[in-house]
Structure 1
Amino acid sequence: MRKTIGAVALGAVILVGASAGIAKKPPAQERPEAFEALIKCKAIVDEKARLQCFDAASTAMEQAAARHDLVVVDKKQMRETRRTLFGLEIPRLHIFGGGDDEGEEVKSIESIVSMAYPNENGQWVVRLEDGSTWVQTDHNMIAVSPKKGTKVVVVKAALGSYMMRIGKEPGVRARRQL
């Protein structure tokens, strides 16, 4: 009996320790060195020295951007990037906004058919005007063949799947093709 109680207690301690580790947030993303150098200039009291620091730091940032060692994007550009990546299996990286603004995840896209054709399995392959290509994964019938110019809505569905609705047709399961 004591061995059983001891085993249960040990299991509970391990479970609590493991769940505490899961709840921790990942370490904060470091900002680029060139950006940090610019921010540190604000702390310089002497105006002449502060201006020299800002000039040197802004020149370094400009050169880093020209070499593509530093890329600056705003929230609007990040949202558009997330939209163009919709449906692709991308790891959750800070550079794609996997940080504080998690609520801004793209859950659907709307576009227009630029080209559509059935593949060898009779499932539709649909290229959208945004450049993405979606392939039907189920065998549900689409009564009206998708035509160029038809509106398409792709929505995130359960378990990492996607539903594609072409025009007024019922939705079909689909996956994004590279």
Structure 2
Amino acid sequence: MPARPLLHLVSAFALLAPSPALAADRRAAADQSQAIDTLLACRKIATSADRLACVDRELDRLSARIDSGSIAVVDKAQVERQRREQFGLAPRGSAIFANEANGGTVKEVRGAIASASTDASGKWVFSLQDGSRWHQIDDYTIGSAPRAGTTVLITRAALNSFKMSVGGQPAIRVRRTG
């Protein structure tokens, strides 16, 4: 087999391998789940005194891990807010916010333009009021020029791409750049 196709094959398998950060994230999630499961298992103890001793012991362990930062407790609203803030950005190793099985992914985001301008090639660059920055990547034109305060709807499209509708106009393809 020639060297170049072999190199491509090895590269393809390297891309499919889970990253060490993702593996560590999964181990941490399993460890956190085990800590909660151990605490909840105390409920199965029949004797009240033994059950209370188990709950106290496991709560002390859990509290120490929370204080040390090895376990984080977040509510569903925090997770959803983080998903919206990261909408359009490549995942950076936090599986809890990217895991579709645990609440799904954000399908669309609504916002308002803080500023809009064109780059050297005539494509739009949008800064939204939430601080995100989006850059047009197709050649479609927008009928009426976007202004500050104009509402936008950004939706997920095919192959992890995004479309932005500015003020209800037909959508353009965009990429988040910040």
TM-score, with normalisation over the residues of structure 2? 0.71
Paired residue secondary structure (2:111): strand
**Which consecutive residues of structure 2, in runs of 5 or more, have no partner in the other structure?**
1-25
Give the number of aligned pairs. 151
Letter of the 1:121 counterpart: S
Q: How does 1:91-170 map to 2 (within 5 A)?
A: 94-96=95-97, 98=99, 100-101=101-102, 104-170=104-170
Deviation beyond 3 Å, 4+ runs, structure 1: 91-94, 99-102
Q: Is 1:164–1:172's contact at 8 Å kept on the other side of the alignment?
A: yes
Letter of the 1:47 counterpart: S
| Structure 2 Cα separation of the partners of residues 41 and 63 of structure 1 | 18
Q: How does 1:10-159 map to 2 (within 5 A)?
A: 30-32=30-32, 33-90=34-91, 94-96=95-97, 98=99, 100-101=101-102, 104-159=104-159
TM-score, with normalisation over the residues of structure 1? 0.71
CA shift in 2, pair 1:106/1:39, >3 Å: same
| Structure 2 Cα separation of the partners of residues 92 and 126 of structure 1 | 26
| Structure 2 Cα separation of the partners of residues 126 and 35 of structure 1 | 44
Deviation at 1:101, TM superposition (A): 4.6
| Structure 2 Cα separation of the partners of residues 155 and 100 of structure 1 | 20
| Structure 2 Cα separation of the partners of residues 85 and 107 of structure 1 | 12
**Higher fraction of helix:** 2
Deviation at 1:50, TM superposition (A): 1.8
| Structure 1 Cα separation of the partners of residues 60 and 130 of structure 2 | 36
Deviation at 1:126, TM superposition (A): 1.0
> CA-atom RMSD, angstroms?
2.7
Q: Is 1:116–1:146's contact at 8 Å kept on the other side of the alignment?
A: yes
Task: Point out the structure with max Rg over C-alpha.
Answer: 1
CA shift in 2, pair 1:99/1:122, >3 Å: closer
**Which consecutive residues of structure 1, in runs of 5 or more, have no partner in the other structure?**
1-26
Q: Is 1:92–1:98's contact at 8 Å kept on the other side of the alignment?
A: no
